[in-house]
Structure 1
């Protein structure tokens, strides 16, 4: 199977995709476990809303792939564990890829694998690790026809805001996205920039490779919905949201609202109506 065949499973005919990330337990952070302590239940809840993909780790992929039937989301397999998300950075930083990750992905019938391209202030060794990880995975992805999703992630200094805080500077996001493309990404998973109306520049620098936008930390329904509408208007191919779905009071309805924006071009007003139980579901 070629990567192109898997891409067609991942994206709609119009080239759109909503991937729900439930891989947060991979990173050894207590706060990341909120709402996903029971993974079987979390996965089943999201599957009912029928997004295009669900992003899971090697050890949790079974919760998706054990579900019977032909109609369920594709598996995006997270391949690397990192230790960079705490409020205080450890002395030694790493981003380690699972052994024989692509063979695992093929065995698990994944549509894609996801790997980080991390850019932390004054941490060139970590960036170097990520470049090596991507280079090795690319070779294996080509061999097995697997889709390579690269996640360029520019982070703020920990002393500024604590762990896992995104730097929305478009002048830092753009070159890292381009580096990911140059390294062979089939799909980009990137952060939004501070000025959403400028996001078309990130799309442009990706040079035709589809860009899925990360959701980041928890935000209000209005903020998430409005931001998603603007990102899709700027040319994003879709979204990869995790905590804003799984930590929502109604993950299924939030997924349906976001699917309407991504696949049907719903307005923010219509999406909020779906969230409030006033509109039809998009499943």
Structure 2
């Protein structure tokens, strides 16, 4: 690994645990300005103070998000976009470049690929081109890999998730983000089949915090490298507190009950 890439990766991963807590905040492009992301500086302060390793956003939000104070946190610039207003919401298109991210001081970039979509070939072409350019610059790449299309019966099926992770690995990602398969045994098979760090997505807004804590605990016990969770963090009633609880699970190997004690009023 180039030294520049190694340095940048250590800004988004805990160098002692080789795990990470990433908080995506790119939802505004997809669904609009939702609760939890109206005041971006406050949102980032909350998760940074809780112990998040990195936040993820589109390039235009950086000017609304730079704090100049408080605890530091890694920055990942997201290069893919689509909206729920489109008749083709799963068709992601590039809206930024590696050079854009470098100019903004980013520590990594991310892309979103929906395997199985009618436009899969275009997303994979973009993915390959971006990973080649990122290698030239020593920029780490996080690939958000999902299976969404007419042939996909269950996007959480272990064989489907394994395929998603493997595509991300083979086309040049440094970290891959996939759905959690629901239990430790099946998720361990995803991790075993991939030689790069695997982090889990948070999915829809959860009914309770214990579900998120349990999923985080089980994923890292299965060999996962951490979390990339958005609304289940920034829309929680106390975002900093739930990040602290997740930090305990991901980086300190806490049990679920120990983490839940932090969330008791």
On whether the aligned pair clears a TM of 0.5, the verdict is yes
- Contact kept in structure 1, 2:75 and 2:106, CA below 8 Å: yes
Residues of 1 paired with 2:66 and 2:125: CA distance? 30
1:11 aligns with 2:4: no
- State the Cα RMSD in Å: 2.1
The corresponding residue for 2:47 is 46
Superposed CA offset, 1:185-238 (max 9, x none): 10111110134431011101112x011111111111111111111111000111
Match for 1:127 among 120, 130, 143? Answer: 120
Q: CA deviation at 1:41?
A: 2.2
Q: CA deviation at 1:253?
A: 0.3
| Superposition misfits of 4+ residues, deviation over 6 angstroms | none
Normalised by the length of structure 2, the TM-score is 0.90
Unmatched runs of 5 consecutive residues or more in structure 1:
161-165, 278-283
The corresponding residue for 2:139 is 146
Superposed CA offset, 1:118-145 (max 9, x none): 124xx33x21121011111112101111
- Contact kept in structure 2, 1:17 and 1:52, CA below 8 Å: yes
The corresponding residue for 2:203 is 216
The corresponding residue for 2:194 is 206
The corresponding residue for 2:129 is 136
Q: Which moved more, 1:102-111 or 1:41-50?
A: 41-50
Match for 2:95 among 86, 95, 98? Answer: 98
Q: How many residues of Structure 1 are paired with residues of Structure 2 in the alignment?
A: 259
- Contact kept in structure 2, 1:65 and 1:108, CA below 8 Å: no
- Contact kept in structure 2, 1:116 and 1:150, CA below 8 Å: yes
The corresponding residue for 1:231 is 219
The corresponding residue for 2:72 is 72
- Contact kept in structure 2, 1:150 and 1:180, CA below 8 Å: yes
- Contact kept in structure 2, 1:58 and 1:78, CA below 8 Å: yes
Residues of 1 paired with 2:147 and 2:184: CA distance? 16
Normalised by the length of structure 1, the TM-score is 0.85
Unmatched runs of 5 consecutive residues or more in structure 2:
none
- Contact kept in structure 2, 1:46 and 1:252, CA below 8 Å: yes
